Each structure stands twice: as C-alpha cells, then as structure tokens.
C-alpha cells in the first residue's frame, strides 16, 4: 500500500517563507589539514578502528573545500532561497583557544560572499559537532572553559562576516553531542559516562545563551537561534510501563532542552532520574540560557516508539522504513510543531533538517529516488498542516543538498537530493532535486 502524496504548491506558503538545502562542514569539506586547519574530534574519532561502519573518514568527503564555487552554482540552480551550512571551528581557530587562521576565515568569507552574489541567503551554524581536538584534550564540552572559547569563536565570526549572514544558529542538535557523544559514545568524542553527558548538555546550552548575548552586543543583525533534534515519543502500548518510559524519553530529548531555553529551568522528572549525575549549574546559568532568541530550528526525521522492555521493533509498525531504519512518519512533524507552539512561547520555527536515506540506484545518468521525493513532499505537507493549525513557521530545509559523510554510518547512507560519485566527485541531480527545483519554480 502506498500512501497518497499530497498535491503541493509553493503558493500555499507565505511569500517570505524560506526554502533551503542544508549541509555541515565535516560531512562535505574534506581537506582536514589544508591551509592551516586544525583537527577536530571527528577527525580523531574516525581513526579509531571499528567506529565508522565502512571504516571511512572525512578526509576527502565531497571535496567541497576545493569545489565550493561550483557547488554554489549548483545550489543556485535549484532555486532555493537559503543555504544552511556550518563553519568548522578548527579551520578558523585551529586549537580553539590560540591564534586565528586567516586562510580558514577567508574560505568562509568567500563562501558567504559567493552565496550573496548568487542571491542565496547564508544560514550559518557555528557548531555542527566538529570541536577542535585540542580543546577536547583540555576536557572538551565537559569543561566549563569551553563555553567561553565558544563565545570567542562566535564573536570572531561575527566580527569578520556577521554583517552578511541572514541567520546564525549556535549549535546543531545538542542532544546528539551530549548523549551520542558522551553517554552511548557512538559519536565523537566517544565517551560513555552519563554524568559527563549531562554536564556537556548544560555547557552547550549555556554557551548558546552567552553567545547569543555576545552577538547581540556586537550588533549582529542576523536572526539568532539554535537547532534541536526532536521527535514525538509514542509509547509502544498503552500500558503503564511504556507510557512512563515514553514520558521520561520525551523529557530527556525535548523538555531537557526546551524547558531551559524557554522556561529557565530543567524538568524535575529528568533531574530526579539523573540523581547524582545531574549537571552542576551555577547561579545565573539558567537565566543566561533562556535569553530570547529570534528563531528555533527543528530537525525532524521520524517519531520514536518507546517500549519499557525494548521489545518494540520498527519493522512491526507496517510503515515504510528508510535506509536508516527510521519510519516514514510525517504526521509526527505536525504533531511536534503543534505541541511546541502549544507548550512553549516559541519564536518562529524552521524545519532546519528533513530528508531521508534511501538505497538509490544510479542508472543512465539518472537517480529515480521516488521514495525520497515522496518523503519530502509528505513532510512539506505536514508543515503546511501545522501552519493551518496556527504554528508560526518561517522555513523548510532539505537534508541534504548532496550525499555526504553520514557520521558513524560513513558513506553507505545517502541523504542527498544530489548524487555524489565518490570516485569522480561528479554531482548529479536526483529526481528529488528536479522535483524540488520545479516546486520552487512554481509561480502561481
């Protein structure tokens, strides 16, 4: 059974709604040591045996560091309004606390000016996970000093190119950095300690709040915000155990970030659950975190189904499943956006990432990725439905512009609407990109 795909028109959305595509530095750039760049925690992590599915790394990736100009032409050709990208912190300040690297700053300034020349709005993310390795050696995000190094980094970028940025997000997905990076250890820096993870999450939030205040003090005209990965937590059954567990998981993923950002407090049930592992919070930290922001970015891929005994299997839901093993569940996006609008005084929301990994086949120069095209269409319709229900939405960005290094999954999972041949670095627009371009070109 295939789910009917909604008829969509760009004219259903306001004229100032921002349509975009997204990437991140480590996943596309390559050139880990070129022009004075320092190593990041992901460069080091990839060198540990067995942590990346295909034993790959980011050394070459999409060679975007060399190919950025033609990549910008490709983005312009899609007809998007905005490009969401990130700066590799160790490319601009190799050790995170020492000298700045002029060539690294030049690279990103060229990128920003190149976007503006092509009529595309630059949407910058400061931290998409690639902390300078030298800062990790000093304790990384678990160490409170890193908060202040991040604020300096934000100030340095604002001073050099902030006048030309449309938007600055401090962090991408603090939950992922905290929990996958420091509790389960499946992502860099590969630490497995619950108390460390909780402290990291607090430092990420604090550095967000302090950076926003510093950027405002510098007169930043960009819209300032943060990007969270969120999904509704559905109990597998209506039984008490599953319901209780789902509420706790919702606390750990959503309320742990939304409550401090919008209510200046951590959720009590999660604090109770963490017990002695709860983070050390100093006076004023929560007020600093809860500074007003101009936008909130939501990365949405799927819902989560929670069973207390972990017996629930994705395959049993009967829903279509992507190559990541994630259910295709667009209703969850509407549910999530409406809930955020209802429970929090949120600023305008963006979907800053949404998309799917599918097993694409490249045939005669074409990639007929109907699964991905339908995925994107159904999620755009889910955004329209949230807006119909009163949610203030400002934009939607596809993850991702092109196939790239998918973290612990390496290059095996392809999220791009543009196919990348990793032997030749040839880029080919998949059918999903052709559809998106057509959708964006609609005028009536």
CA 303 – CA 339 distance, rounded (Å): 14
Q: How many residues form the binding site for ligand FCB (CB under 6 A)?
A: 12
CA distances from 169 to 37, 188, 195, 267 (A): 22, 21, 26, 24
Residue 296: CB atoms within 10 Å = 24
Q: Which of 13, 18, 24, 293 binds ligand FCB (CB under 6 A)?
A: 24
| Choice between 71 and 173, CB closer to ligand FCB | 173
- Which of 183, 327, 353, 406 is catalytic? The answer is 353
CA distance linking residue 79 with residue 440, whole number of Å: 6
Span from 131-139, 142-150, 170-178, 261-269 in contact with ligand FCB (CB under 6 A): 170-178
Q: Which of 59, 174, 60, 64 is nearest to 108 (CA)?
A: 64
Q: Is the peptide bond before 400 cis (omega within 30 degrees of 0)?
A: yes
Site membership for ligand FCB, residue 257 (CB under 6 A): no
Q: Is 176 in the site for ligand FCB (CB under 6 A)?
A: yes
Question: Does the active-site annotation cover 173?
Answer: yes
Question: Which residues have a Cβ under 8 Å from the Cβ of 92 and sit 6 or more positions away?
Answer: 100, 101, 104, 105, 108, 153, 156, 157
Under the binding rule (CB under 6 A), the answer on residue 249 touching ligand FCB is no
**Which tokens belong to 370?**
């109907």
Q: Is the CB of residue 75 less than 8 Å from the CB of residue 84?
A: no
269-278 long-range CB contacts below 8 Å, 24 or more apart? 273/248, 274/194, 274/195, 274/198, 276/195, 277/194, 277/195, 277/198, 278/198
Q: How far is the CB of 278 from ligand FCB (least distance, A)?
A: 25
DSSP string, 378-419: HHHHHHHHHHHTT--EEEEEEE-SB----GGGTTSS---SEE
- Binding region for ligand FCB (CB under 6 A) out of 172-180, 307-315, 358-366, 424-432: 172-180
Using rule CB under 6 A, residue 432 touches ligand FCB: no
Stretch that binds ligand FCB, among 65-73, 169-177, 311-319, 422-430 (CB under 6 A): 169-177
Q: Rule CB under 6 A: is residue 299 a binding residue for ligand FCB?
A: yes
Stretch that binds ligand FCB, among 110-118, 168-176, 234-242, 370-378 (CB under 6 A): 168-176
Work out whether 123 is an interface residue with ligand FCB (CB under 6 A): no
| Closest CB to ligand FCB among residues 172, 201 | 172
Asked if residue 415 binds ligand FCB (CB under 6 A), the reply is yes
Q: Which is nearer to ligand FCB, 122 or 174 (CB)?
A: 174
Q: Is 399 in the site for ligand FCB (CB under 6 A)?
A: yes
Kindly state whether residue 172 participates in binding ligand FCB, applying the rule CB under 6 A: yes
Query: Which one of residues 43, 133, 353, 360 is an interface residue with ligand FCB (CB under 6 A)?
Result: 353
231 binds ligand FCB (CB under 6 A): no
If the CB atoms of residues 229 and 377 are measured against ligand FCB, the closer one turns out to be: 229
Are the C-beta atoms of residues 397 and 354 closer than 8 Å to each other? yes
The 10 Å Cβ neighbour count of residue 17 is 17
Residues that bind ligand FCB (CB under 6 A): 24, 27, 172-173, 176, 229, 299, 353, 399, 406-407, 415
Q: Could you list the active site residues?
A: 173, 353
């Amino acid at each position: 059974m295939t789910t009917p795909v909604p008829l969509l028109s760009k004219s259903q959305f306001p004229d100032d709604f921002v349509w975009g595509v997204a990437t991140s530095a480590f996943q596309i750039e390559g050139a880990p040591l070129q022009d004075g760049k320092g190593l990041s925690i992901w460069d080091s992590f990839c060198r540990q045996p067995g942590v990346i599915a295909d034993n790959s790394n980011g050394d070459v990736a999409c060679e975007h560091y060399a190919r950025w100009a033609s990549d910008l032409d490709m983005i312009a050709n899609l007809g998007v309004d905005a490009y969401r990208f990130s700066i590799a912190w160790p490319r601009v300040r190799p050790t995170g606390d020492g000298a700045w690297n002029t060539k690294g700053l030049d690279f990103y300034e060229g990128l920003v000016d190149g976007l503006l020349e092509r009529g595309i709005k630059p949407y910058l993310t400061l931290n998409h996970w690639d902390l300078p390795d030298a800062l990790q050696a000093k304790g990384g995000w678990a160490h409170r000093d890193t908060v202040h190094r991040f604020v300096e980094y934000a100030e340095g970028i604002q001073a050099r190119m902030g006048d030309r940025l449309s938007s600055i997000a401090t962090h991408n997905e603090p939950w992922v950095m905290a929990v996958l990076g420091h509790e389960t250890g499946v992502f860099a820096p590969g630490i497995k300690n619950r108390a460390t993870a909780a402290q990291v999450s607090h430092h990420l939030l604090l550095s967000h709040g302090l950076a926003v205040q510093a950027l405002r003090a510098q007169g930043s005209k960009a819209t300032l915000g943060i990007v969270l990965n969120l999904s509704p937590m559905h109990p597998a059954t209506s039984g008490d155990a599953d319901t209780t567990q789902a509420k706790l998981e919702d606390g750990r993923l959503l309320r742990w970030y939304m409550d401090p950002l919008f209510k200046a407090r951590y959720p009590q049930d999660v604090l109770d659950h963490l017990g002695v592992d709860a983070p050390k919070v100093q006076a004023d930290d929560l007020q600093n975190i809860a500074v007003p922001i101009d936008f909130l970015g939501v990365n949405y891929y799927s819902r989560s189904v929670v069973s207390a005994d972990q017996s629930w299997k994705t395959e049993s839901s009967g829903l279509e499943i992507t190559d990541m093993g994630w259910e295709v569940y667009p209703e969850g996006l509407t549910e999530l956006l409406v809930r955020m609008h209802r429970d929090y005084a949120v600023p305008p929301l963006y979907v800053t990432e949404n998309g799917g990994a599918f097993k694409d086949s490249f045939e005669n120069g074409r990639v007929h990725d109907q699964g991905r095209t339908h995925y994107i269409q159904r999620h755009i319709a889910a955004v329209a439905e949230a807006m119909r229900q009163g949610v203030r939405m400002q934009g939607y960005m596809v993850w991702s512009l092109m196939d790239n290094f998918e973290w612990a999954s390496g290059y095996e999972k392809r999220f791009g609407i543009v196919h990348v041949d990793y032997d030749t670095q040839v880029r080919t627009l998949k059918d999903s990109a052709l559809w998106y371009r057509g959708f964006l070109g609609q005028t009536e």
